[in-house]
A = this chain, B = another copy of it.
């Protein structure tokens, strides 16, 4: 756990702090399958999850430095497998914010009764994320070939990553 970083449930009041982070990461186009010019309404409805989904923020000295959501990866008979996504303000990267978010997300997902967690689309060139998820016990179940058009590397694979909880 990072000293000085508080994790709490996100509220509507956090969105104005989350949106610039999301917009910046979307615009870079290297790690998420969002439109690079994603509009605020689409971003907001996609990120701010309603129950049984959850959205959290990582706050340092009153500043939102990262955020994550968890939700059922499928409905109905597939709702016992969670999905999650993470954003860290690039200005605060390399300081353990993603790890702090992940610690919380995994513990809460287990508590919520999910049996496993699945990431559907981890860009294979996002080695920082892939390395982190592997450290957290996620394995690559498959790589969808050429499923992501990276602005620098061209067509690269998307990993399906998975771990039990």
Binding site for B on A (CB under 8 A): 26, 29, 32-36, 38, 73-81, 115-116, 118, 120-121, 141-151, 158, 160, 162
Contacts and interface: CB of A to CB of B under 8 A. Distances in A.
A54 to B, nearest CB: 19
Nearest to A143: B141
Contacts of A78: 33, 121, 147-149, 158
Contacts of A29: 76-77
Nearest to A26: B76
A142 B46 CA distance: 26
A65 to B, nearest CB: 24
B144 A77 contact: no
Given A116-B146, A144-B81, A162-B144, A76 B121 contact: no
